[in-house]
Structure 1
Amino acid sequence: MDIQAIREQFPILNQEVNGHPLVYLDSAATSQKPLQVIEAIENYYKNNNSNVHRGVHTLGNRATDQYEGAREKVKQFIGANSVQEIIFTRGTTTSLNTVAYGYARHFLKEGDEIIITQMEHHSNIIPWQQAAKYTGATLKYIPLAEDGTVTIDAVKETVTSNTKIVAIAHVSNVLGAVNPIKEIAEIAHQNGAILVVDGAQSVPHMKVNVQDLDCDFYAFSGHKMCGPTGIGVLYGKKALLEKMEPVEFGGEMIDFVDLYDSTWKELPWKFEGGTPVIAGAIGLGAAIDFLEEIGLDKITEHENQLVHYAQQKLSEIDGLTIYGPEKRAGLVTFNIDGVHPHDTATVLDAEGIAVRAGHHCAQPLMKWLQCTATARASFYLYNDEKDVDRLVEGLNRAKEYFGDVF
């Protein structure tokens, strides 16, 4: 990959922060946007702005074609069987809540089990906590291995014939651990359960085929994959989506409304009440085009090389602890002895380096790691080894600034 040519497609990267060239290492929180995406959104508002599915005029037809064209791109991108299985949402959080409310609350009962892990983002914990409270189901956790990974043996020991839902991240946003989704799906199905996957940290970085994984639901966000904020996707197997009730009611998702009862449109519009995020969907379609032009396999290979380089360089810093397994996706979460991660991030920001600091919306995992917060550097297709070198220089300055206690 020609990283410099790719970087030139991201105008935001061509700036200085605090007098230093920007090094953006927070793509796990949100990725930057290429010109291709920015221009697609601008073109919609300049030339095609109209509501979808409603009007018969030219602008309405153009907008509808672009909106539904984006759905077709998503279908192809993740290997879904039909566009009816692609629901546009506000993001991963909304997608997971849609399953928790539209499926779990209707089909679970007392004695049933929901299985998750301690590595989950809060968006894949709280909806299941609430579903368990509402239905009387039991919430159980798959124990993590010492390096923070999920083993097949641990899954087999936790999932039982009472399990109805297994919900798990494809990639941990803190540890970078890549979970064996296909094998977990098999275990879940053998026990009569469905598998819900949080794909927020996987879809932007690796090729995902939902039919090959055989997951029942898969959720992800546009803003982490070079697309705009406010748009996400819920993939669901058609048979399950047809069984579910909508979670939002109003215009666009109805078939017929009478005074005392109403009927719903067919999939996928049954779950898309109100005016949808039209520009967001079009921007997501442009992001998919951009990523496919580069190639997901190339992006994965580049990130694997970069995170390996980062692990080597950071491990040379005395007193720095890296959390998570050796083999991981493109992020490194760490702490420096005696330095609070917020202080680390502040010093790095003064050097023009953007990283994340805090609990990363994963407080149960922080408790498991026996710390309250960590710093995280996350990489994407526009980062290179020079960015890692700048990070290392900044971390050494942080150590100097707060006193070398080693």
Structure 2
Amino acid sequence: MTTTSTHTTPFDVEKIRKDFPILQRQVNGNPLVYFDNAATSQTPKVVIDAIVDYYSRYNANIHRGVHTLSQEATDAYEKSRIKLQKHFNAAKAHEMIFTSGTTHGINLVANGFASFLKKGDEVIVSAMEHHSNIVPWQMLCEKTGAILRVIPMNTEGELLMDAYEELLSEKTRLVFCNHISNALGTINPIEEIIEKAHRAGAAVLVDGAQACPHIKPDVQALDVDFYVASAHKMCGPTGIGVLYGKEKWLNELPPYQGGGEMIAEVTFEKTTYAGLPHKFEAGTPNICGGIVFGVAVDYLNGIGFENIEEYEHELLAYATKELLKVEGLKIYGTSKHKTSVISFNLEGIHPYDIGTIVDKLGIAVRTGHHCAQPIMDYYKIPGTVRASFAFYNTKEEIDALVAAVKKAKAMLG
């Protein structure tokens, strides 16, 4: 389930593009066309300015100092946590744990569940996960003797929900699924996945890294146990993310790392741990990143997620139609429910070669397996060319991509 923002200002892509300084540059003598948004989004000036402001005016460590700069930094950091709580509609601010990114959040949960799982327990992942939502669970299974089960997918890039239901049993302890596939753009039916997992007595972690730039999750409405996201895909900086966890689960999980800030009292005989959220935030955090994550979320909400969804869907439909006019081009991931990602190949041409040629024309796309190698193995291909669109992209840029793909085909075909 998602919620949408109400916004009265009309959506004006040309005005929005002026917010992003990097979109004004040239690459290889051509205007930059940035279609690698699924890897990382670009950063608006308001976020860049907030980074400069932090380091220029109140750079200090947080939660420890009585001096003014420390108090100002602490206030800004914790206000950002509250912004994230409201954005994701968490019940309490301390259910929002700052991390270094989605991968960190997943590993934190996996490490915690190593204390609970035993040999013969089962955990379920989907066939379309990013490696970050596969490898930690494989490591968990190796450590505990638990068994990893996989929800299969079909050629359209959709999960087989009947097969998922058959995998669930009294042995299922955990279910992991991405909200949106980074390789295919598929929007997974996470409401159904969560509801069926809970019916079986299992907890659910949803990888929201690809979803959060496009939609606004409501974690209470979803009733999800854990939800992870990264700022750098949401117009924020790298090196900062968030883990939402239900208070009940966060209290049960042991700390992930030991160090300063996550303790209540330390003696050489015994250490007691701090309460939430500090229990999971050992050491000096990415203070600036945490503060400006909130600025990025404000920026996105200012545009309005209803506007973002509508415009990006328009870009997806247009790009799909135009790319399919190129003879020999095949799109992977054709679910009816998908976001603005198109993975494709040209018959007989390696995706890397296409990516290299379009880069010479100033167009940034991603080539390879997109850290989702099992998907590529399923289709029996080495990888794809992935064009991923954001709300600051245009149809004219899509036209430039189509022309570049046609040129690559003429040169390489």
SS of the residue corresponding to residue 232 of structure 2 reads coil
Question: Displacement, 1:339?
Answer: 1.2
> Superposed, which structure 2 residues align to 1:6-405 within 5 Å?
6-102=16-112, 104-327=113-336, 328-403=338-413
When the two chains are superposed, the root-mean-square deviation of aligned CA atoms in Å is 0.8
SS of the residue corresponding to residue 115 of structure 2 reads helix
SS of the residue corresponding to residue 346 of structure 1 reads helix
Q: Report the AA paired with residue 33 of structure 2.
A: V
Q: Quote the Cα distance in structure 2 between the aligned partners of 1:228 and 1:38.
A: 9
Q: Quote the Cα distance in structure 1 between the aligned partners of 2:274 and 2:311.
A: 43
TM-score computed with the length of structure 1 as normaliser = 0.98
- Size of the aligned set, in residue pairs, is 402
Q: Quote the Cα distance in structure 1 between the aligned partners of 2:116 and 2:320.
A: 44
The percentage of counterpart residues that share the same residue type is 50
Question: Displacement, 1:207?
Answer: 1.5
Q: Cα gap change, 1:180/1:283 in structure 2, threshold over 3 Å: closer, same or farther?
A: same
Q: Quote the Cα distance in structure 2 between the aligned partners of 1:100 and 1:242.
A: 15
Q: Quote the Cα distance in structure 2 between the aligned partners of 1:152 and 1:117.
A: 10
Q: Report the AA paired with residue 245 of structure 1.
A: P
What whole-Å deviation, never above 9, does each CA across 1:248-272 have from its counterpart, x for those lacking one? Answer: 1100111100112201111001000
What whole-Å deviation, never above 9, does each CA across 1:330-378 have from its counterpart, x for those lacking one? Answer: 1100011111111100000000000000110011111011111111000
Segments of 5+ residues of structure 2 without an aligned counterpart are 1-10
TM-score computed with the length of structure 2 as normaliser = 0.96
What whole-Å deviation, never above 9, does each CA across 1:14-53 have from its counterpart, x for those lacking one? Answer: 0110010000000000000000100111101000100000
Segments of 5+ residues of structure 1 without an aligned counterpart are none
Q: Quote the Cα distance in structure 2 between the aligned partners of 1:288 and 1:178.
A: 21
Contact kept? 1:53, 1:60, Cα under 8 Å = yes
SS of the residue corresponding to residue 372 of structure 1 reads coil
Q: Quote the Cα distance in structure 2 between the aligned partners of 1:309 and 1:255.
A: 56
2:8 paired residue number: none
Q: Report the AA paired with residue 64 of structure 1.
A: T
Question: Displacement, 1:146?
Answer: 2.8
Contact kept? 2:95, 2:247, Cα under 8 Å = yes
Contact kept? 1:344, 1:375, Cα under 8 Å = yes
Question: Displacement, 1:154?
Answer: 2.5
Q: Which runs of 4+ in 1 moved over 6 A?
A: none
Contact kept? 1:119, 1:365, Cα under 8 Å = yes
Q: Quote the Cα distance in structure 2 between the aligned partners of 1:204 and 1:161.
A: 35
Q: Quote the Cα distance in structure 2 between the aligned partners of 1:277 and 1:221.
A: 13
Q: Quote the Cα distance in structure 2 between the aligned partners of 1:131 and 1:195.
A: 15
